[in-house]
Amino acid sequence: MRPILFPDHPQFWFETLRSLGHTAYGLADIGEVVVTSQAITAGDYDSWHDEWLATADRVAAEADRAAAAGHRISARDGYLRASNYYRSAEFFLHGRAGDPRILHAYERSVECFRAAAGLSTPAIEPVEIPYEGTLLPGYFYRAGETGERRPTVVMCNGFDGTVEEMYVYAVAAVERGYHVLAFDGPGQPGTRHKQGLVFRPDWETVVGPVIDYALTRDEVDPDRIALLGASMGGVLMPRAAAFEPRAAALIAVDGLFDLGDIVTSGIPGDRDAAEARLRAPHDPEFDAEIERLMAASGTMRWAMEQGMYAFRVATPRQFCAAYLDYHLHDGVAERIGCPTLVCAGEDDLFFQGQPELLFDHLTCDKTLLPFTTAEGAGAHCQAGGQRLAYARIYDWLATALA
């Protein structure tokens, strides 16, 4: 897909397409996204923040007025869009972890989403999931008001997305009769902003307590629990499924096999030599080279700054070294026993070839689901083609859980 906006800045265009795609489920409106984007200076993180914050503030204020006048649906819709725009506002600021604008926009995003959640029918329930002496934030979505026991999708986002953004996946599932339990795990925004938790590769230690919590709810059918991971969740949830026998199905959107491939692919020499350089305690020449690459690529700059923030490390190289531990090698992929769907975007900006690697290593009942540029769904996680993508994903799940 050719960029409609930000033609010379792929990362800004992808984040814009991400919001445009969310219009399919009410987290954005096309005109608001376009006029906001047109006011942004490409590559300028402060400009991105300021324009998205202004749009979010305006939409939230209108939602407040609708709520005060008793217009529940209008208020709900406005709060949903404002939540997503606040999420976008702080997206590129994580290179300065102490920037007060980050927490302000994040908290406003959550406030607006929870306002919308209370106005939804059925209401979306904020939940807190016990985990290692603390609590993971999440939401429980009911498919109907009766509390009927139904199959349930347990889902999480990835490297940079919020649990509130998973609304688009959740409502698509609810429309089809599934309950949904969405959560933020360690390293994801809810726990990173509030508790300082960082990512961990053994995601089964996260998903286990989430499923424990799900099984305390009468609405959840214990024999029909599916796991869904988006973006980096495409390696986290498969890792969990490999060690979690209660998973009846697995969906990786998009599938990932080895994040180490991403951070070593451009380093001269073989994989062992590349890993040794990344893990070395001191390599100023290599550090300087990474800095030069970041200066030349908006996508690399963002990825490194986001990684340092989410993993709470001091240098880009330390983040890359941490990424090496996120993989399904050593027979882990082969341990997955439940039916598994691996999605793949033809024009994925970040993880080209990874879904196919995961698929090739699986020994379970497996399906590879490609999405093409020609059908408008070839971007990472099918940004811009979500109605099409979720139809295919949840139709597959209906068969898998039948």
Can you give the pLDDT at residue 188? 97
Q: Does the pLDDT at position 196 exceed 90?
A: yes
| pLDDT classification of 400: cutoffs 50, 70, 90 | very high
**Domain-terminating residue out of 51, 85, 120:** 120
Among the ranges 284-288, 318-322, 363-367, which has the highest mean pLDDT value? 363-367
Q: Based on the domain organization, do 234 and 383 belong to the same domain?
A: yes
Determine the Cα–Cα distance for residues 386 and 380; give it in Å rounded to an integer: 11
The tens digit of pLDDT for each residue in 65-123 reads 999 999 999 999 999 999 999 999 999 999 998 999 999 999 999 999 999 999 999 99
Give the amino acid at 148.
E
Say what the pTM is.
Answer: 0.96
DSSP string over 18-61: HHHHGGGGTS--HHHHHHHHHTSPTT-HHHHHHHHHHHHHHHHH
Can you give the pLDDT at residue 145? 80
Q: What is the CATH number of the domain that holds 349?
A: 3.40.50.1820
Percent of the chain with pLDDT over 90: 88
Can you give the pLDDT at residue 146? 79
Q: Based on the domain organization, do 4 and 71 belong to the same domain?
A: yes
Q: Based on the domain organization, do 225 and 337 belong to the same domain?
A: yes
Q: What is the mean pLDDT of the chain?
A: 95
DSSP symbol at 71 = -
Can you give the pLDDT at residue 332? 98
Q: Based on the domain organization, do 283 and 366 belong to the same domain?
A: no
**Domain-terminating residue out of 304, 323, 342:** 323
Q: Based on the domain organization, do 74 and 164 belong to the same domain?
A: no
Can you give the pLDDT at residue 268? 81
Say if residue 78 is exposed, middle or buried (CB neighbours under 10 Å; 0-12, 13-18, 19+): buried
- What residues are labeled active site? 231
Can you give the pLDDT at residue 107? 98
Our count of domains for the chain comes to 3
Q: Based on the domain organization, do 127 and 198 belong to the same domain?
A: yes
Determine the Cα–Cα distance for residues 84 and 91; give it in Å rounded to an integer: 11
Of 119-128, 285-294, 312-321, give the lowest mean pLDDT range. Answer: 285-294
Q: Does the pLDDT at position 147 exceed 90?
A: no
Can you give the pLDDT at residue 265? 86
Mean pLDDT computed over 341-370: 96
**Domain-terminating residue out of 323, 338, 356:** 323
**CA nearest neighbour of 367 among 391, 390, 388, 397:** 397
Q: Based on the domain organization, do 226 and 294 belong to the same domain?
A: no
Q: What is the number of H-type helices and E-type strands within the chain?
A: 17, 8
| pLDDT classification of 316: cutoffs 50, 70, 90 | very high
Domain around 146: 122-259+326-402
Can you give the pLDDT at residue 281? 86
The tens digit of pLDDT for each residue in 248-303 reads 999 999 999 999 999 998 888 889 888 988 998 888 888 898 889 899 888 889 99
Q: Based on the domain organization, do 268 and 240 belong to the same domain?
A: no
Mean pLDDT computed over 351-373: 97
Cβ count near 72 (within 10 Å): 14
CA diameter of the chain: 65
